Every structure is written in structure tokens, then in C-alpha cells.
């Protein structure tokens, strides 16, 4: 896995990356209220398959899809994205938060989408109330959660063999102490198994890890990967076998 820094992270340092921030009450419309943050990681090989795109050299490690609120989209359309505000983050953004689908010349359109659709919603928190804080905190959480190294530690590696969805969920829950959400690309007609595509880890507004779902709460599904629309969409994985595709 490429991101060596993430691979060296230990669970003992996780709290240092998560224990910042507090809620700030900003004027909001009723349909923009939200209860939890979602740190969304996606697997590039599955992203390429999802949009039926011949991606050029997709990363061979889990990358950031976004940092989302659970109940909000495009909360402040008057707050545009400005690339220059995250100039000091660009080196890490290109590695850990890349646009898997589009060419490097169009990479910032993905970040623009994530800010306008999701960043403007979570900006009610002091820890996320600017573009610099939003993307910087997303990178901090990614490094602190260290999903790539945690999966390796669990022995869950891309393979031609299948895993059980319940085994992946239970193993991650044992390490993080909370229940994640695992999403898959459903099989095409004629295919026999779903494909691992996305892993979400959820946080409170105080940026503390929490379960992604509670009893009686709907599991939810794919929220949109940005400018490209897939012909098939990620869904919460069904219990049973799952394919974790090796990088192409």
C-alpha cells in the first residue's frame, strides 16, 4: 500500500486525531440538520468498475471519497470553492483524496463537488468552518483511522478469493470499537458475487467515533461520487460472499 504514513498509524494515536472540534449553531434550514459525520473511504478498482471507466493507473490503496453529514446536501450554495485556499494541502490531496476517474487536469472538480455538496453542510462545526479546515481535517481523519493498515493487520487483502461481509464488519468493529458501514457494487447479470467498494466510519459532531447505524435506523445507500454518474450504484452489502478486487 502506498501511503506509508497511514500504514504506520497505531490505534493508540487514533484519539489524538479525533478529539477536536465542537458544534457551532449557524442559521440553517430545517432539511439541513444532521446528526453525524461520515468519513467515507472508497476502493479505486471498484470505483472504476462502478462508472465503467477505463481509469488510468488507479491507486492501489483506499482513498478518501469525502467527509459528509448524514442528512444534508449543498447547504450553502453561495459559498464557492477556491483551490488557492488549500494550496498547502495539495500534495497530500493528490495522494489520499484523488479524483480516481478524471484526468489530473480536471482533478479539482471532484474537490469542488465535495466542498459544495458536503463541506458547506458540516461547516457549522468550528473544526470544519472553512475549506482549509474541512479538507485538512479530512486528511487528518484518514491518517488517524489508517484504514489501509488496519485491513492489512486483519489479513483482509485484495484477492481472487472471496470474503464474508460479516467477517469484514466484525473485524473492523473489533479494532475501531464501533460498527462501520460496508458498501458493495451489486453483481451484474450473470455475475455471481458483489464487489467491495466503500467503507464508512462515522463520528459524532464532537468528532468521536460512533456506530454508523442505530437500531431501527435505515442503512442508507450510495450518495453520489461526484460529476460522473454510475450505471450501477453502491449499496449496503448483502450478507454473504464479497469480492475485494486486486488493483488493475
Is position 191 annotated as part of the catalytic site?
A: no
Instruction: Return the number of other C-beta atoms located less than 10 Å from residue 91's C-beta.
Output: 9
- Give the closest residue to 160 by CA, choosing from 221, 32, 246, 241: 246
Is position 113 annotated as part of the catalytic site?
A: no
The DSSP code sequence of the chain is ---HHHHT--GGGHHHHHS---B------GGG----EEEEEE-HHHHHHHTT---SS--SS-EEEEEEETT-S---TTS---GGGGGGGHHHHHHHS--SSS-GGGTHHHHHHHIIIIIHHHTTBGGGSSHHHHHHHHHHHHHHH-HHHHHHHTT----SSEEEHHHHHHHHHHHHSS--EEEEEPPPTT--SEEEEEEEEEE-TTS-EE-S--TT----B----SSSPPSS--EEPPSSEEE-PPP-
- Which residue of the set 65, 102, 113, 116 is catalytic? 65
- Which residue of the set 42, 102, 113, 114 is catalytic? 114
Burial class of residue 216 (count of CB atoms within 10 Å of its CB; 0-12, 13-18, 19+): exposed
Task: Check if the beta carbon of residue 166 is closer than 8 Å to that of residue 30.
Answer: no
Catalytically annotated residues: 65, 114, 118
Amino acid at each position: 500500500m502506498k501511503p506509508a504514513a497511514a500504514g504506520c498509524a497505531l490505534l493508540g494515536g487514533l484519539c489524538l486525531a479525533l478529539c477536536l472540534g465542537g458544534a457551532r449553531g449557524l442559521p440553517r434550514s430545517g432539511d439541513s440538520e444532521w446528526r453525524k459525520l461520515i468519513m467515507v473511504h472508497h476502493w479505486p478498482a471498484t470505483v472504476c468498475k462502478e462508472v465503467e471507466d477505463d481509469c488510468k493507473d488507479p491507486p492501489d490503496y483506499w482513498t478518501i471519497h469525502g467527509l459528509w453529514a448524514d442528512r444534508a446536501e449543498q447547504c450553502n450554495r453561495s459559498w464557492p470553492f477556491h483551490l488557492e485556499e488549500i494550496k498547502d494541502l495539495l500534495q497530500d490531496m493528490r495522494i489520499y483524496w484523488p479524483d480516481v476517474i478524471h484526468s489530473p487536469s480536471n482533478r479539482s472538480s471532484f474537490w469542488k463537488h465535495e466542498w459544495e455538496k458536503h463541506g458547506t453542510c458540516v461547516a457549522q462545526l468550528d473544526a470544519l468552518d472553512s475549506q482549509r479546515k474541512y479538507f485538512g481535517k479530512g486528511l487528518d481523519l484518514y491518517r488517524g483511522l489508517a484504514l489501509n493498515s488496519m485491513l492489512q493487520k486483519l489479513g483482509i487483502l485484495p484477492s481472487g478469493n472471496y470474503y464474508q461481509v460479516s467477517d469484514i464488519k466484525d473485524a473492523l468493529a473489533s479494532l475501531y470499537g464501533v460498527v462501520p458501514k460496508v458498501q458493495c457494487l451489486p453483481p451484474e447479470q450473470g455475475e455471481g458475487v458483489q464487489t467491495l467498494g466503500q467503507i464508512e466510519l462515522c463520528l459524532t459532531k464532537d468528532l468521536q467515533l460512533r456506530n454508523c447505524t442505530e437500531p431501527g435506523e435505515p442503512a442508507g445507500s450510495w450518495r453520489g461520487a461526484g460529476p460522473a454518474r454510475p450505471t450501477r450504484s453502491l449499496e449496503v452489502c448483502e450478507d454473504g460472499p464479497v469480492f475485494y478486487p486486486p488493483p488493475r
